[in-house]
Structure 1
């Protein structure tokens, strides 16, 4: 009964947002006491502006922007936004999908604090943000090759960095492990595999 009571205001909020934004909201989902909206990529600025300004929402506190990579999907990346409404004492998650080449409209015009978070998502996943005032890497070094949180990015990276005593400076050299010999199954150990991890046998005792 407590769960149903808790879901009531969230369900009403989801219906209100979906009704007001129409086709911009593709899906709503309730999990772990939070509301998640899946929205059309091109509508993200409209959606976050509504969430901030609508009197029934007032999600005025921007928390973060992050990414997720699903290589098997046609649009492999999800961009996830988190907001807080002190008025409602509720959090909301907004998701959209994109590919390696299609930019996502920047929300920095609505929430200035999204600036560095969008840069981080670009740096680590390669997601482009159109309209961003300064879209460049923020965590990796200048000239870094690739985007390290993509699932197909090698654990060893593409280059190695070391200090060369003879040259008296830091040098970058290619990693001598051919990409063709690396395999990725994208499975976590908890999703079920054909091998037994050390310690798993204890669960059967």
Structure 2
């Protein structure tokens, strides 16, 4: 008979914070629990050391994702969020650093090669620079694209639009135009000014006359 043992788990998120706070020491800025997740904010220049320690000493083996967030009103407007998974402890962890346009974040491709693609996504969408990434090119937008689409100050329409030109037999770029063909904006409800009463509108008609339906 084979007995299956479940992977060991932390007793609570508080227990995770109690263990990791002294382990990270001065590299740790803050440790909180939000929406059931442990979030560690660490010093930007120590991110590689922090993630190496979490991987090698605390069994967070997998880097699941690297994401960006934009807070334009902050002095360092960007957050870079690393999402880790411990398959042995069955536990997830989020690690954050802050950055500005001119403050590069150290690459973690030295720890997980897959970080190269993830860092490229954050660079493409937000403009965050990852120092040490040997292939920091755009990955989601087109060649020659200007700007970073996930920044809060990037226009929803973008700056250019592209189409295939039958005359030139190639894709061409043109300034964005927003044609409003076949659209009217009189902002009048179809019920206003009608010469008939639709079923269910008897109450509105009675209220208009000062009565009750």
Both structures adopt the same fold (TM-score exceeding 0.5): yes
Q: CA deviation at 1:8?
A: 5.1
User: 1:104-151 CA deviation, whole Å, 9 max, x = no partner?
Assistant: 000010111111110000001110000012100001000001100111
Does residue 12 (structure 1) correspond to residue 15 (structure 2)? The answer is yes
Structure 1 partner of 2:5: none
The whole-number CA distance in structure 2 between the counterparts of 1:98 and 1:107 is 15
Structure 1 partner of 2:203: none
Secondary structure of the residue that 1:121 maps to in structure 2? helix
Structure 2 partner of 1:45: 48
> TM-score, structure 2 length as denominator?
0.76
The whole-number CA distance in structure 2 between the counterparts of 1:91 and 1:109 is 21
> TM-score, structure 1 length as denominator?
0.79
The whole-number CA distance in structure 2 between the counterparts of 1:174 and 1:161 is 9
What is the Cα-based RMSD across aligned positions, in Å? 1.6
Q: Count residues with an aligned counterpart.
A: 170
The whole-number CA distance in structure 1 between the counterparts of 2:105 and 2:78 is 11
Distance change >3 Å, CA 110–CA 145, structure 1 → 2: same
Please say if residues 10 and 34 of structure 1, whose CA atoms lie closer than 8 Å, have aligned partners that are also in contact.
Answer: yes
Please say if residues 27 and 39 of structure 1, whose CA atoms lie closer than 8 Å, have aligned partners that are also in contact.
Answer: yes
Structure with more of its chain in helix, by fraction: 1
Structure 2 partner of 1:99: 100
Matching of residues 1-205 of structure 1 within 5 Å: 9-54=12-57, 57-175=58-176
Secondary structure of the residue that 1:49 maps to in structure 2? helix
Please say if residues 44 and 97 of structure 2, whose CA atoms lie closer than 8 Å, have aligned partners that are also in contact.
Answer: yes
The whole-number CA distance in structure 1 between the counterparts of 2:177 and 2:12 is 56
Q: Which has the larger radius of gyration?
A: 2
The whole-number CA distance in structure 2 between the counterparts of 1:145 and 1:12 is 46
User: 1:138-174 CA deviation, whole Å, 9 max, x = no partner?
Assistant: 0100000110011111111111111222222111122
Secondary structure of the residue that 2:89 maps to in structure 1? coil
Secondary structure of the residue that 1:115 maps to in structure 2? helix
Please say if residues 31 and 39 of structure 2, whose CA atoms lie closer than 8 Å, have aligned partners that are also in contact.
Answer: yes
Unaligned 5+ segments in structure 2 are 1-8, 179-213
